Amino acid sequence: MPASKKETEAELVRALATIMNDADLGEIEVENSDVRIRINKTFSLQPQAMPVVAPTPAPIAAVAAPASEPTSASPAEAAAGNAAAANAIKSPMVGTVYLASEPGAKPFVQVGDKVNAGDTLLLIEAMKTFNPVSAPSAGTVKQILASDGQPVEFGEPLIVVE
């Protein structure tokens, strides 16, 4: 094995280590035809009970992050298990999502709709008050991640407008 390759590998490991620390990961494994590299950070507890409302991130975040594409996904987004979550509009509060102004009414928006900045996308009810979540800018509704009547946490991804 040529030394240059070795150096490349050490460099790769170093790069992975940086990513691991930056992105707060627990383990990284990279495998291609030439090489398989796994780096891993110390242990974490196995939870005995899984939360019901929304899953917490896996205790040992065995997220494989390719070196060339560092992810900026926050744990909340990872938890949502959704690729689109990164640019989704997130819930500004704890509450219950309503996609229409009243039961049976037409939803505020549907996938494919064009929206303007300030348009109401959905409501979040908390403590008997309904709080509109509006589009931050004009765009097209790409994905609706929350369902009608769904309880949401703070920071939970709701809707993708691009």
Cβ–Cβ under 8 Å, residues 60 and 27 = yes
User: With contact defined as beta carbons under 8 Å apart, do 134 and 119 qualify?
Assistant: yes
Choose among other proteins, its own copies, none what residue 20 binds, the Cβ cut-off being 5 to 8 Å by kind: its own copies
* Stretch of 1-9, 73-81, 106-114, 135-143 contacting other proteins, by CB under 8 A: 73-81
Q: Is 39 exposed, middle or buried (0-12, 13-18, 19+ CB in 10 A)?
A: middle
Residue 64, binding choice from other proteins, its own copies, none, Cβ under 5 to 8 Å by partner class = none
Going by the DSSP 8-state scheme, the letter that residue 41 receives in this structure is P
Q: Which residues form the interface with its own copies (CB under 8 A)?
A: 1, 3, 5-6, 8-43
Q: Which residues form the interface with other proteins (CB under 8 A)?
A: 24, 41-49, 51-54, 56-57, 59, 74-76, 93-96, 126-127, 151-156
